[in-house]
Structures are given as C-alpha cells and as structure tokens.
Structure 1
Amino acid sequence: MSFLNKNYKFVSQENFDGFLKAVGVAEDRLEQLKKFAPDQKLTKDGDTYTYYNITPEGPQEVKFKSGVEIDELLGASKTPVKSTYVVEGNTMTQTVKSPERGVAVFKREYNGDDLVVTLTYEKWDGVAKRFYKAE
C-alpha cells in the first residue's frame, strides 16, 4: 500500500460534467463544481482509514473501516448519504447510496504516483474519470 500517506494533486478530467448533470447538479452550480479539484490523501491507523479531500478552505476528512457502511454528508450541500468504502490492494471503491438520487460509485485506483478516479452512476450509462499525480 505504497499509496498511503501520499498527497495526490488534480491533473485533468474526462466527462465529469456529464456525471454532475446525471446526478442532478443544478446548471448554475455546474461550472463551480467542474473546477472543484481537491488534493486527495488516504492514511491508515490500525484497521481505520482516513480519507482526506484537501481544499483551499482546509481538509475534509472521512474515517472508515473497509467494508463498513457509514453515514456521510456529501459535498457543499452536506447531503446525507450512506457510504461504504472498500480497500482492496491498490483500489479504494466508495459506493454512495442516496434515497433521493440512487447509487453512485467512485473507484480510486492507485498505480505508483498516479491516481485515477472512475465515477459511475446507476441512472447514467456514461463514465467520468479524474486524474491525479502524487507530489
């Protein structure tokens, strides 16, 4: 797990606006969210992981155990969802369930200094990707 404790900086994205539209982001927020590109970091202490989104306003963190569903507030709107994070090898998969919007999956694949986040949504036949590089 050589990717633990590394800070990954945003590099580029593909079809992220399509994902945002599919999950119901309002048109007036699309441009702002397309630019949202926090650094990402994953740490581990015993069997507990901490996943950080590092924004200009400071770090946002989520503590979890692999495979255990947690309550989470997602995004700037603080939408309550149920998330399950599963860490297997070099991959962390986050499944987000919202009663109003359905299920979305964020698959983070770490390969050396590269991180690729693949985003899918049950009500959308597209795929979005976001690319990061370790500092």
Structure 2
Amino acid sequence: MAFNGKYEIESQENYDEFLKKIGIPDDIIEKGRNFKIVTEVIQNGNEFTWSQVYPQKTMTNKFVIDQESEMETMAGKKFKATVTLEGGKITVRFPNYQHTAEISGDKLVECSTSGGVTMKRTSKRI
C-alpha cells in the first residue's frame, strides 16, 4: 500500500500556465497559488480514495485500478475514466489532461499534462 498517507505540497512547477490551459479562472488560480494543498490517499489493495483539500473545496475521487469509475476534475466536472497502475505509477486521463502519480522516496510526485504543458507537484508525507 505504497500510496497510503497524507501529503502536503512542497513545490509545484508550471502551476499558472497549466491551470490557465485547462480553463481554471484567474481568481481561483490566485487563491490556490500559495495554498498548501493536502492530499490524503487511502489504498486498500486496488481500491483507492484520493482526496485533495483546495482553498475553495475538497475533491475526492474513489476508484478501483483497471475499472471504469466516476471521477471529478479540478474544475468540478464529472466524467468516467479507468485508472491504471503500472510500475508503481498511477495514470488517469481526465477530459483535458493526463495525470500521473507515484511515490518517490517518501514523496508523492504528481504530473498533469495538457497541450504540451506539464504541472509537477511534489508533496511530503505528513
């Protein structure tokens, strides 16, 4: 259960550019820029509950690896997707970006890519 735990964001790259690319309003981008996003992952075998606490809301996605699940985007849009796990890396295709997450040492490293722009977030276990 490598992903189990609570993580607090330490650093992020290409935050503004990526969020603008996927259509997040400027006021929301501004509110979240220096906010210490907390991610909590509960992993039970192939079942995951993945929650992220943002300034304006908490987003929780529940999914089972290799099974279609209903998910929610950062912008609050509902969609169906299949999450995969290969080589210790979780991958899911959101409607307008692809997201990966992996544990590297004691850190959660997440990358979201849209139209050639990749936002990288690194979070420490708390």
For Structure 1 versus Structure 2, the TM-score category normalised by the shorter chain is 0.7 to 0.9
**Which runs of 5 or more structure 2 residues have no equivalent in the other structure?**
none
What residue is the counterpart of 1:96 in the other structure? 94
CA-based RMSD of the aligned residues comes to: 2.4
Query: Aligned match of 1:86 in 84, 98, 118?
Result: 84
What residue is the counterpart of 1:114 in the other structure? 107
Q: How far apart, CA to CA, are the structure 1 residues paired with 2:27 and 2:64?
A: 36
| Other structure's SS at 1:131 match | strand
**Percent identity over the alignment?**
28
Q: How many residues align?
A: 126
Q: Tell me which structure has the larger Cα radius of gyration.
A: 1
What residue is the counterpart of 2:27 in the other structure? 28
1:53 and 2:52 equivalent? yes
Normalised to the residue count of structure 2, the TM-score between the two structures is 0.81
Q: CA deviation at 1:30?
A: 2.2
Q: CA deviation at 1:14?
A: 0.6
Q: CA deviation at 1:70?
A: 1.9
Greater Cα shift, 124-133 or 57-66: 57-66
**Which runs of 5 or more structure 1 residues have no equivalent in the other structure?**
98-102
CA spacing shift, 1:96–1:31, aligned 2, 3 Å: same
Q: CA deviation at 1:131?
A: 1.0
What residue is the counterpart of 1:132 in the other structure? 123
| Other structure's SS at 2:83 match | strand
Normalised to the residue count of structure 1, the TM-score between the two structures is 0.76
Q: CA deviation at 1:43?
A: 2.2
Give deviations 1:21-77, integer Å, cap 9, x for gaps.
1111223332123345421232223432221224578864322111222222333x5
Residues 14 and 130 of structure 1 are in contact (CA less than 8 Å); yes or no, is this contact kept in structure 2? yes
